[in-house]
Amino acid sequence: MALQKSDWKHEDNKHYRGHLDRIYVSTTEEWEVGYFVDKYLKDHNSTTSDKNRDVIMQNIAAYPGKKPILRTELTKFLDGKITFTAAK
């Protein structure tokens, strides 16, 4: 399997690698937040447009809990704030 270059920064927080990296979302890591947002949209059968990403990002910024954020807690928070509608 060949590696593909992307525009995302691939710098990872040394303190949250491996198992912890799969549990938490660090809002200071652009790549990690971008990956979470795209996966969240995909899991909810929504398009990964800039508009949709912006909505998710605004809601992540409003998360009231401690950081780094547990992925499960962030997903629960977003599910309570965002309503997806079917395309017409």
pLDDT digits (tens, 9 = 90+) for 42-82: 999 999 999 999 999 999 999 999 999 999 999 999 999 99
Under 8 Å between Cβ of 69 and 27: yes
For residue 41, what are the domain limits? 16-81
Answer yes or no: is 6 within a domain: no
First to last CA, the chain: 38
| 1 pLDDT above the threshold of 80 | no
The pTM (predicted TM-score) of the whole model is: 0.74
* 3-class SS of residue 70: strand
Answer yes or no: is 29 within a domain: yes
Q: pLDDT averaged over the chain?
A: 81
57 lies in some domain? yes
Considering only residues 6 and 67, tell me which one the structure prediction assigns the higher pLDDT. Answer: 67
Q: How many residues does the chain have?
A: 88
Q: What is the pLDDT of residue 87?
A: 62
Instruction: Provide the pLDDT for residue 28.
Output: 86
Residue 86 lies in a domain: no
Structural domain contains residue 34: yes
Task: Examine residue 2 and state whether it is found in any structural domain, yes or no.
Answer: no
Instruction: Identify whether 3 is part of a domain.
Output: no
